[in-house]
Every structure is written in structure tokens, then in C-alpha cells.
């Protein structure tokens, strides 16, 4: 690990590298053990240098955003966690094109579009993820998804940085080519349409009000835990199985929205994963539908 530290210090400042950092502080579920090392790059060049440094030092590396779709096991993560956050979060508007770096919160990207009188990203204003992770999984809400507006994306894929068009991204329901092949979205551009600023803002406020009314935003969570099964809604299947409010340790199926599992206080990753498995078993028994997780599970 000292070899990794020495290599990273050639390209970054000491405050950009943390040792033994709890992953619970970097996931919206607020669970997860420590990462051996955590690095916050300030540029694409630093990100690539960090990945090279980890490879040269024989240390496994993982890239994350704000951890909104991530469950880290209680043993933490061995190796290097690279966080694409505030240091890589620039958002630019050029005509009807909105560009954003991977660390930009989706809400900020949507707000920049609204301020410029551009419509097409209203649905994203309340999604808690960052641009990189959201684009990699084709995040969506309220009938919209990022593939509806994506023009192209800069992606680190198979060791090379490439610009992929929307078609080349192969975007489906909560999946893309980079996600399936372990790529990292570095930046993306969205082609939007002119609209009325006030009408766009009103739509964003309406969707966020609906979100506050129906979703358990007062507790830590990773949003919707399960993918939508074909012909069904995960939350409805979970509720029909009598699981609303079911709990293991500090993890609970939200009484407000059964599609969410929340941390009511002091939950461990083991609690969350045990509850997910319980929900999957009971829903399969009750309905014959096998729920697939939307969240990513990593660590020891």
C-alpha cells in the first residue's frame, strides 16, 4: 500500500487521499465498513493516474459517485476507492446542449437546464445520484430516463477513454454497455429543447412534491432496491406479500413505500442484505415473481 501512496502523491495533494475511511459516510444507506484507501480526483487526468497507480501497485480499485445506489458490506473494501465528487462536477450550457462531469449531482444538472430554459431533464431533479453513476445505469423516474435526452458520453472503457453516442451506449432499463462491461462514465452531454422556465420549474416542483409525499426521504436508503419486474411493480408485490414494515435489525421495508428499504438507525449492511433476501423469498413464494436488485453490493 505504501507503493500506492507514493504513486498517488506524485499527482495529487495529501488531502485528496484518505486511509481507512468508513464507507458508511459515502453511501446514502449509511452502512459499510472502511475502505483501505479513498481518493478524490480533481480531474480526469488524476483519475486515470490513480487507476494506473493502483494497477502498478497491484491494488484493486473501484470508482463510485455519491453512493446512492450502493450497499457496502460491513467488512469494507480492500484496495482503493476513487470518488468522483465535487472536484469533478462542472456543469456547462451551450445553446441547447447541457454538459456535465461525472461528479455533478443530477439535481444540479436539471437545475442548470431549467435556468437556461431547457426542458427534458425535469424528471431527474429529485434523483439523488450523480451524473456518472446515473448515466451508467440509465437512471430514471416518473416516466423519464437519461437515455431520452443523452447525446453522447465520454467513457473509460476497456482501459481507453472513448466518446460513445446514445446508440453506442446501448441504454436499456437500468442498464448500459459501460455498466455491463465495468466502464466509468466521465462526462455526458444532453440535447434538450427550448421551453418556458416557469413551466419547467413548476414541473420539477410537482415531481419533487410527489416524491416527498410517497417516498421515505426522512431515512437513509438507496432508493428503489428492486428493478421493476415485467408486468408488475416491485413495491406492490412486496406489499401484497405482507412485508410493509418488516424489519431485520435497523433495516426496514418502508411503511410508506414498500419498494424502499430504509435504515431506521444503526442498521448494518448485514441487516439490509438479510432483509433483501427475505423480501425476495417471500415475494417469490407469494407471487411466483423473482425480484432482482437494482442496487450494487460490494465489499467484504
- Contact present, 264 and 251 (Cβ < 8 Å): yes
Quick check: helix, strand or coil at residue 48? helix
Distance (Å, whole) CA 125 – CA 105: 9
Is there a catalytic annotation at residue 174?
yes
Is there a catalytic annotation at residue 86?
no
Distance (Å, whole) CA 96 – CA 245: 45
Distance (Å, whole) CA 252 – CA 261: 5
Backbone torsions φ then ψ of 241, nearest 5 degrees: -80, 0
Quick check: helix, strand or coil at residue 163? strand
Distance (Å, whole) CA 20 – CA 82: 13
Is there a catalytic annotation at residue 294?
yes
Query: Which one is catalytic: 174, 187, 189, 203?
Result: 174
Query: Which one is catalytic: 21, 122, 187, 294?
Result: 294
Query: Which one is catalytic: 125, 224, 239, 254?
Result: 224
Please list the active-site residues: 174, 224, 294
Amino acid at each position: 500500500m505504501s507503493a500506492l501512496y507514493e504513486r498517488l502523491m506524485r499527482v495529487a495533494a495529501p488531502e485528496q487521499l484518505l486511509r481507512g475511511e468508513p464507507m458508511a459516510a459515502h453511501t446514502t444507506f449509511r452502512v459499510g465498513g472502511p475502505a483501505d484507501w479513498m481518493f478524490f480526483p480533481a480531474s480526469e487526468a488524476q483519475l486515470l493516474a490513480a487507476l494506473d497507480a493502483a494497477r502498478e501497485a497491484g491494488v484493486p480499485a473501484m470508482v463510485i459517485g455519491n453512493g446512492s445506489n450502493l450497499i457496502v458490506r460491513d467488512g469494507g473494501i480492500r484496495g482503493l476507492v476513487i470518488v468522483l465528487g465535487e472536484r469533478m462536477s462542472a456543469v456547462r450550457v451551450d445553446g441547447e446542449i447541457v454538459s456535465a462531469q461525472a461528479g455533478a449531482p443530477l439535481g444540479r444538472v436539471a437545475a442548470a437546464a431549467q435556468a437556461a430554459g431547457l426542458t427534458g431533464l425535469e424528471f431527474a431533479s429529485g434523483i439523488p445520484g450523480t451524473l456518472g453513476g446515473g448515466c451508467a445505469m440509465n437512471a430514471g423516474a416518473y416516466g423519464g430516463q437519461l437515455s431520452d435526452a443523452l447525446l453522447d458520453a465520454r467513457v473509460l472503457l476497456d482501459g481507453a477513454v472513448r466518446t460513445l453516442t446514445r446508440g453506442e451506449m446501448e441504454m436499456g432499463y437500468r442498464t448500459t454497455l459501460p455498466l455491463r462491461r465495468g466502464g466509468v462514465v466521465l462526462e455526458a452531454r444532453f440535447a434538450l429543447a427550448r421551453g418556458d422556465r416557469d413551466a419547467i420549474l413548476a414541473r420539477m416542483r410537482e415531481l419533487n412534491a410527489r416524491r416527498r409525499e410517497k417516498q421515505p426521504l426522512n431515512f437513509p436508503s438507496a432508493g428503489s432496491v428492486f428493478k421493476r419486474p415485467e408486468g408488475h411493480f416491485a413495491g406492490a408485490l412486496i406489499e401484497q406479500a405482507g412485508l410493509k414494515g418488516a424489519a431485520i435489525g435497523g433495516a426496514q421495508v418502508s411503511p410508506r413505500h414498500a419498494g424502499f428499504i430504509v435504515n431506521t438507525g444503526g442498521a448494518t449492511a448485514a441487516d439490509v442484505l438479510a432483509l433483501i433476501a427475505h423480501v425476495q423469498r417471500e415475494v417469490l413464494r407469494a407471487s411466483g415473481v423473482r425480484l432482482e436488485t437494482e442496487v450494487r453490493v460490494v465489499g467484504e
